[in-house]
Amino acid sequence: MLLEQIINGITLGSIYAIVALGFTLVFGVLGIINMAHGEIFMIGAFIGVLITSVLGLPLWIAFIAAIGVTVILGYMLERIALRPLRGKQGVSHLAPLISTIGVSILLENLSHHIFGAGNHPFRHSFAQIQFQVGSITIYLVQILIFVISITLMVVLSYWLSKTKAGKALRATAENLETASLLGVNTKRTITTTVILASALGGIAGILVGMAFNSVNPQMGLSMGLKGLAIIILGGMGNVKGAMAGGLLLGLAETMIVAYGDSGYRDAIAFITIIFILLLRPQGIFGKNTAEAGR
């Protein structure tokens, strides 16, 4: 049973990690908590359902469509809800938080009207492929999710540290004004970040649909809150921290169900947050100084 539970935990944790990657990117560059990220994730999942179950098209199209739609959403989020607040006089540091909450309410209720309130099944034969290892059943989807999350993390880390665009992004994260003085197109960099983060959300959405066969308009909120917890755990703006934090939370949640009281499953994320913040506010993998590995 332990092994099975570990697999469950890793699957869940990998999804959390991808969601948290999107959170952490936006926070790292803009210093903003994007409360709409969970809802963008949810829309991604719905696009997956629409393409595979309703239209009956292959999975790769679903991925492309989900990424496409979430990229557009990300762009709109940046243009409508974030850019107008930037550089404006007298803007409280809470304004972007509220603005993204507005987007999240809007998206949740919009998808309510479009898709209805119920759960939508994600029917795809790919989700049924399984292996038998001893007494344990492993689904290909579970492996895929894990691989995708690791790949995304590695690619993202590489992109941030080695490529020019990544360096521009980090420079912007470090200091927006200095970066723009040094010739970085900060506007474009910020837009890229938000778009990239949204696309990550869209990918996570499809993966959840495949793994758990459950897509509904409310899933964004719960996932959003978990993602928030993870970036605290892993250090805000830290890519590897988000990955590790996600896996840790996924495993912890699974273990508390397996060996403790499942009623406290949702609390574990938040209890961890409180303790981490009080003992090590920069998170497990965060560094104290501004040179934190964003």
Partner 1 sequence: MRNSFKKVYLLISVLMVVMLAACSEDETNATSEKSGGPVSAKIGVISYMTGPGAAYGEAITNGFNLALDEINEKGDVKIELIIEDSAGKQDQALTVAQKLMSSDDIVALLGPTLSTEMNVVGPEADINGIPIMGTSTTAAGIPQIGEYVFRNSIPESLAIPAALEKAVNKYGAKKVAILYGNDDLFTQSGFDTMKAEAENMGLEILTIETFQKGQSDYNAQLTKIKDLQPDLILASALYNEGAVIMDQARKMGIDLPFVGGNGFNSPQVIEIAGEASEGLIVATPWFGEKDDPKVQDFVKKYETEYGHKPDQFAAQAYDALYIMAEGLKNAGVADRDALRDALAEIKDLDGILGKFSFDEDGDVIMEPTVLIIKDGAFQQFE
Partner 2 sequence: MLGDIINPYHLQIISFILINIILGISIYITLSSGQLSLGNAGFMGIGAYTSALLTINFDLPIFLGIILGAVVAGVFGILIGIPALRLSGVYLAIATLGFGEVIRVIFVNWESITQGSIGLSGIPHLGRELFKTFKLTGFDPDMLGLKNNQFIYLLVVLILLLVNILLVWFFIRQNKSRVGRAFAAIKMDEKAAESMGINITYYKVLSFTQGAILAGFAGALYAHVMAYISPADFAYHRAIDILIFSIFGGSELIWGAIFGATFMTILPEALRFISDYRYMIYGVILIAMMAFRPQGIIDVSLLKWFKKKLKLKRGGSLGIGTKKYN
* Binding of residue 85 to partner 2 (CB under 8 A): yes
**Residue 134 interacting partner from partner 1, partner 2, none (CB closer than 5 to 8 Å by kind):** none
Helix, strand, or coil here: 105? Answer: helix
* Binding of residue 90 to partner 2 (CB under 8 A): yes
Query: Is the separation of the CB atoms in 125 and 55 below 8 Å?
Result: no
Q: Interior CA angle at 270 toward 264 and 273, to 5°? A: 140
Residue 159 or 212: the one with the smaller Cβ distance to partner 1 is 212
Instruction: Retrieve residue 286's tokens.
Output: 């965060």
Residue 211 or 229: the one with the smaller Cβ distance to partner 2 is 229
* Binding of residue 53 to partner 1 (CB under 8 A): no
Residue 151's Cβ-count burial label (10 Å; 0-12, 13-18, 19+) is exposed
* Binding of residue 5 to partner 1 (CB under 8 A): yes
Query: Is the separation of the CB atoms in 83 and 151 below 8 Å?
Result: no
Q: Which of 28, 2, 12, 4 is nearest to 194 (CA)?
A: 28
Q: What's the CA gap between 196 and 188, in Å, rounded?
A: 12
* Binding of residue 164 to partner 2 (CB under 8 A): no
* Binding of residue 289 to partner 2 (CB under 8 A): no
Q: Which stretch binds partner 1 (CB under 8 A): 92-100, 164-172, 179-187, 208-216?
A: 208-216
Element (H, E) at 146: helix 140-162
* Binding of residue 253 to partner 2 (CB under 8 A): no
CA dihedral 179, 185, 186, 190 (to 10 degrees): -140
Query: Per-residue x/- marks for partner 1, 250-269, CB under 8 A?
Result: ---xx--xx--xxx-xx---
- Residues lying near partner 2 in the complex (CB under 8 A): 31, 33, 80-81, 84-85, 88, 90-99, 101-110, 113, 221, 225, 228-229, 232, 236, 261, 263-264, 266-267, 269-271, 273-274, 277-278, 281
Q: Which residues bind partner 1 (CB under 8 A)?
A: 1, 4-5, 8-9, 11-12, 109, 112, 116-121, 123, 130, 137, 139, 208, 211-219, 221-222, 253-254, 257-258, 261-263, 265-266
